[in-house]
Amino acid sequence: MSKMSLKSLGFLCVLGVSGLAAQGQPKPPECPVAAIDTAAWVLTKDPAIGIEMKHPTDYREIHWTSRSDTSGVSLAFRRNAANTIDINEFQGFYSTRGPQPSVPPCLLRTRSGELALHVEPTYTINSDGSHSPYLIGKAIISPTGKPRMLVEIGAPDSTALFEQMMMLRTIEFLGRPR
């Protein structure tokens, strides 16, 4: 296994063990935090979804208002095919894609409050038929005056996952009383 694969699996083991220990506690354990400089990141505001969020400049923003595979508003960020963040109304097709209840969450603090993030290890199948680890995180957010939204992050390794977790930490709900 590569170093990144071992890091990813190590992160999931720590998260899984701490999640199991927290089942009897009122709150999940804190999500891991990485020191990431966000000073050069850009701010995206999407009034249709009701959030603002900072992201690295190399993530491409995609603002959807209507798509053939679902209904409702959505927002996506893509660095490439493997580094993704999707935010969709939690209805229709997306109402069945929420966090797995069997996956213990970790607690991620955003600018608008706490977020229960469920990190699910999985894998991708490469063109040669081999498998590569892949990490998916899922959470439900409720922006002020908007419908519930499903947030899905996808990362090929723990470094990308930690960066995406930092992106989620910058979420602030628009229209929220300060």
pLDDT in tens, 121-178: 888 888 898 888 999 999 999 999 998 999 999 999 999 999 999 999 999 999 876 6
Which distant-in-sequence residues (6+ apart) come within 8 Å of 118 by Cβ?
99, 100, 103, 104, 105, 137, 138, 139
pLDDT in tens, 1-26: 444 443 444 444 444 433 344 455 56
Residue 140 resides in a domain: yes
pLDDT in tens, 99-122: 888 899 999 999 999 999 999 988
Count of domains in the chain? 1
User: What CATH number does residue 56 fall under?
Assistant: 3.40.1000
Range of the domain at 14: 3-173
Residue with tokens 């894998």: 123
Residue 64 resides in a domain: yes
The pTM score is 0.79
Residue 178 resides in a domain: no
Residue 63 resides in a domain: yes
Residue 136 resides in a domain: yes
